[in-house]
């Protein structure tokens, strides 16, 4: 796989988001299947693995540490803090909490240092300068190598970057979630910050794997997301056939179409699709070889965009935890 840069690191231009191996999209896969995804990803050329303390409340970090520990020198390891207090979910950006979480993550991962450590969400009760200052202390202590931020605005990125260089900003970006185009992508380019795109295939929707909400497993958090509810979901389904046809014309799968679109957007973008299936992991990696014509890109963007997609990306309670810009549509 071709490579890109995230801070001081050279990584595969498509990374692996590991969250779904522990929670969020229903029951996690069997251990043996998770191992095949993780080890197979290394063999397939992935060298950027993304986890977090909150994923399965430590389960995901332990999984990566146990499965990939003997191949640690083959990949860049990213994790996150600020959304957990040990065995509970808790948004808290207090410096002492972030440092405690880092020590716990190091132990679960079985490593002495984490390459890229994100503030998972900005706790607005704590100045961003204080939270990033704590992460800067962790860099100084040799426990992390670089600092990242997740789901923050361009203004917050600039405030944080003034305290300590930010290596990467992570937020949702795909053909059906275009909020980064408001301001934060420009800020990343200006400051030399890599942009890590999570949910790059629309939480699986644009890959075509979910056409019946009745098939959602217990614990799948998409069931509470506006785009996957009622009339909005039915309206979004009408986009899928044309999107799938366009992928066929481009000589790739729908998931690869999403990823190739992101890769061609800007060399600072590194998408990190997640999956529980080895087949899909390999399919996603294949997007690195897909080249889209200008015509295909134009048709994709006309088909799937903020005006054609129904429903917001988060329900109000979840939206309140993020700091990203909202895309405001002008009148036609």
**Band of the pLDDT at 215, cuts 50, 70, 90?**
confident
How far is residue 158's CA from residue 188's CA, in Å, rounded to a whole number? 9
**Band of the pLDDT at 200, cuts 50, 70, 90?**
very high
**Band of the pLDDT at 330, cuts 50, 70, 90?**
low
Q: Above 90 in pLDDT, residue 331?
A: no
Spatial neighbors of 136 by CB under 8 A, at least 6 apart, are 147, 163, 164
How high is the pLDDT of residue 168?
A: 98
Active site residue 46: no
Average pLDDT, the chain: 96
How high is the pLDDT of residue 87?
A: 82
How high is the pLDDT of residue 214?
A: 87
Task: Look at 31-40, 242-251, 316-325 and tell me which has the smallest mean pLDDT.
Answer: 316-325
Q: Above 60 in pLDDT, residue 272?
A: yes
**Band of the pLDDT at 176, cuts 50, 70, 90?**
very high
A 10 A CB-CB count for 160 gives 27
Q: Could you say which of 46, 55, 118, 173 is catalytic?
A: 55
Residues β-bridged to residue 85: 88
How far is residue 179's CA from residue 173's CA, in Å, rounded to a whole number? 7
| Digit-coded pLDDT (tens) for 98-156 | 999 999 999 999 999 999 999 999 999 999 999 999 999 999 999 999 999 999 999 99
pTM (2 d.p.):
0.96
Q: How far is CA 141 from CA 101, 107, 134, 156, in A?
A: 15, 16, 11, 25
Instruction: Decide: 146 and 116 in contact? Cβ < 8 Å.
Output: yes
How high is the pLDDT of residue 15?
A: 98
Q: What is the arrangement of strands in the sheet containing 269-271, beginning at the earlier edge strand?
A: 16-17, 48-50, 76-81, 114-119, 144-150, 166-172, 194-198, 269-271
CA 117 to chain centre: 13
**Band of the pLDDT at 209, cuts 50, 70, 90?**
confident
How high is the pLDDT of residue 278?
A: 98
| Digit-coded pLDDT (tens) for 19-72 | 999 999 989 999 999 999 999 999 999 999 999 999 999 999 999 999 999 999
Structural domains of the chain in order of their starting residue, each with its CATH number: 3-204+258-290 (3.20.20.100)
How high is the pLDDT of residue 332?
A: 44
Averaged pLDDT, 236-240: 95
Q: Which helix (H) or strand (E) holds 147?
A: strand 144-150
**Band of the pLDDT at 307, cuts 50, 70, 90?**
very high
* Max Cα–Cα distance, the chain, nearest Å: 56
CA 310 to chain centre: 21
How many CA atoms lie less than 13 Å away from 325 in the CB half-sphere? Answer: 19
């Amino acid at each position: 796989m071709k490579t890109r840069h995230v801070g001081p690191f050279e990584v595969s231009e498509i990374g692996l988001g590991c969250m779904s191996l522990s929670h969020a999209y229903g029951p996690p896969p069997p251990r043996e299947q998770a191992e095949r995804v993780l080890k197979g990803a290394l063999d397939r050329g992935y060298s950027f693995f993304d986890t977090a303390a909150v994923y399965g409340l430590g389960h995901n970090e332990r999984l990566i540490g146990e499965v990939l520990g003997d191949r640690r020198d083959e990949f860049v390891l990213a994790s996150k803090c600020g959304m957990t207090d040990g065995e509970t979910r808790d948004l808290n950006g207090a410096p002492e909490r972030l440092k405690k979480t880092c020590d716990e993550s190091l132990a679960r991962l079985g490593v002495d240092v984490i390459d890229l450590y994100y503030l998972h969400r900005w706790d607005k009760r704590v100045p961003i300068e204080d939270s990033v200052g704590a992460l800067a202390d962790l860099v100084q202590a040799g426990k992390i190598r670089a600092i990242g931020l997740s789901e923050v605005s361009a203004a917050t990125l600039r405030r944080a970057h003034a305290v300590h260089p930010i290596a990467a900003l992570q937020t949702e970006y795909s053909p059906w979630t275009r909020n980064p185009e408001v301001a934060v992508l420009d800020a990343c380019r200006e400051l030399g910050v890599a942009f890590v795109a999570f949910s790059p295939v629309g939480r699986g929707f644009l890959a075509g794997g979910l056409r019946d909400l009745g098939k959602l497993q217990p614990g799948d958090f998409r069931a509470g997301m506006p785009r996957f509810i009622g009339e909005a979901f039915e309206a979004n389904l009408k986009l899928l056939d044309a999107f799938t046809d366009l992928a066929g014309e481009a000589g790739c799968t729908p998931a690869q179409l999403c990823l190739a679109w992101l890769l061609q957007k800007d060399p600072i973008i590194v998408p990190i699709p997640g999956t529980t299936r080895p087949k899909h992991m390999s399919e996603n990696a294949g997007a690195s070889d897909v080249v889209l014509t200008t015509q295909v890109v134009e048709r994709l963007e006309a088909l799937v965009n903020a005006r054609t997609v129904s429903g917001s990306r988060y329900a109000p309670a979840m939206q309140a935890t993020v700091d990203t810009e909202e895309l405001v549509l002008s009148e036609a």
